[in-house]
Structure 1
Amino acid sequence: MMAVLLPNASAEIAGKGSAHDGRIQTAIYSPDNVFRIYAMKDRVTMIRLEDGETIDSDDGAMNVGKPGDPKNREWILGANKRGSVIMIKPSRYAEEPETNMIINTNRRTYLIELKLAKSLASMTYMLRFDYPKPAPVGETPFKGRDLNVNPCDGKINTQYQRRGDIAISPYQVWDNGTFTCFRFPTNAPRPVIYEVLPDGTESMVNMRTVNDITVVHGVSQEFRLRLNKLVMAVRSKVPNTGWYNYNGTTTGEIREVKK
C-alpha cells in the first residue's frame, strides 16, 4: 500500500551516492528514520525494495493529486507486477509537489520525504536500502554458552553419604574445595540447605542456582536438608582439606593479560 500525505517538515536521511553515479543512492534502513528523495518533473525515481519484499497494490500503479482535471495531478506513482520496485515522479503540472509518502510492505514501513531537485545532478534516480541483519538466533536462547557448565569444576570430591528422607534427596553431590554442588531432580521439591557446625548446631548457607545445580558457597563435613518435616543428612567421607583457590576460578582456567 502507498499513500501520499500532506506536507510535513522534518529532518531526513539522504541515501549515499554510488561511486559511479551519485544519483544512484543507498541508505541504511531503520524504521525510525525518514528518507529523503530528490525528484524532478517528468523524471522517474525508482525505489527498490529487498528481494522478496512487496507492496500491496491491486493495479500496480496509482495516481495521486488534486481531484478533477488529470493535469492537476501532483504525483504519479507506480509499481512493477511483483511490487518490489516503486516508480514515482512529480507531474509537470504540479504546483506544490513537495510532500511525504508512506510505503507499507509485507515486511516493513518506509517513511519518505519527497523534495524537488534543483538540477539533474542532484536528483535521486534510484534509492535502495541496506538492511542490518538481526543477531542470529540459535536453537536455544543460550547459544554460545555452555549449557552443561559445572560451577564446581576442577579437582572434585564426590564421596558423599546420604541418610534420611529420600523424597528430598539430591541425586548428585560434589565439591571442589571451595563450593559444594547439589543436583536435584528437575521436578522435585527443593529443600532448604543448612551447614552442620562442629558444635552440632545448624546454620543456613549462602547459595545460588546455576541451571539445575544448587551451589553452596563453601564446603562442610555435613549438610542438613529440610523441607517441612522431611530431613536428610549429607555427609562427606573426605576430611575437609580447605585447599586455597589461588587462581580464583571454579574451572581452573585462567587468561593471562599482557600490557
Structure 2
Amino acid sequence: MKYFLSTFVAFILLIAGNAYALVIPQGGKGDGRIQTAFYTPTQVYNIKASIGRAVLIQFEEDEYLDEEMGLLGMGDATAWNVAVKANNVLFKPLSENPDTNLIVNTNKRTYAFELSVLPKGKQMDTYVLRFTYPKKQMISRDEELRDQVSKEFANKSVNVKRMNQNYWGYGDDELAPTALYDDGRFTYFEFDNNKDLPNIYKIMPDGTEMLLNFTVKGNTLIVHQLNKEFYLRLGTKVLGIVNKGFDVNGRFNYHGTGNETDVRVLREKN
C-alpha cells in the first residue's frame, strides 16, 4: 500500500581524490535546477537546497515507499520538513545549517543522498531531481557478433570460445559501443568509426573511478584487464557498464605471452 508521510523523524561529476564517491546531479538543457542523475546503488547523490525553497525527488513511475519495504531516514530530521507520496519525496530545509544525509528505501531500490544548504545566490540549487535507470538490454550482440569476431580476429588474440558478452549498460545511450566483449583477459570496446571515443574508467571497490589506458586496433579499444563495472565518459555524458559474466579469477595465460597463437618456451641454462 502506498502512503503519505507529512513529517518523518527518527549523489556525467565525481569529486576525485576523496575516499568516497559523491555524485552532483546535472542540470538539463533548459533550467539547470531541473536535474538528472543515472542511478547506481554504490553512489551518494548530492542535493543542494535553499532556505525557503522546496526540493522534489521523483523516482520511477512504479516505484514508491510501501508499508513492507518503505524506509526513509534522515540524520537531522528536526532541520528538514519531509513529505512522501507515490514516487515523490518532497522536502525543504527549516534551519540555516541543516546539512545532513537522507536514506530512502523503496519497493525497488535503495538511495543515499547528501543534503546541503547553499548561501543565497551563490550556486545553482536543486528544484527537481529525476533518475535514469539501467535498461533491460544487452550492449553486446550475440550470435551475429560471435561470427563476426571469429572472422575478424582469426589467428589473433581473441579466444572466441571463451568470449564473454554478458555486458549491460545504463545511462547515456549515445556512448554505447556497437559491441562489447572480453576473452577472459582483455576487454574489447567496438565503436563506429564516426564516433568520438570516450574515456574508460574502472570502478574501484570503494566506488571511486580510475582512468584506464587502452590500445586501439581499427575501431576497437582494447583494455588490458577485466572489471565488474566500467564508466564511459565524454563531456557531460556518462554510460555505466556492468559485466554480469565477470570472473574475479579471470583465466590463466598458459601461453605465457600476450598473443594466443604464440607460446613462450623456457630453456634450461647449461
Shorter-chain TM-score: what band? 0.3 to 0.5
TM norm structure 1? 0.42
TM norm structure 2? 0.41
Indicate the structure (1 or 2) with the bigger Cα radius of gyration: 1
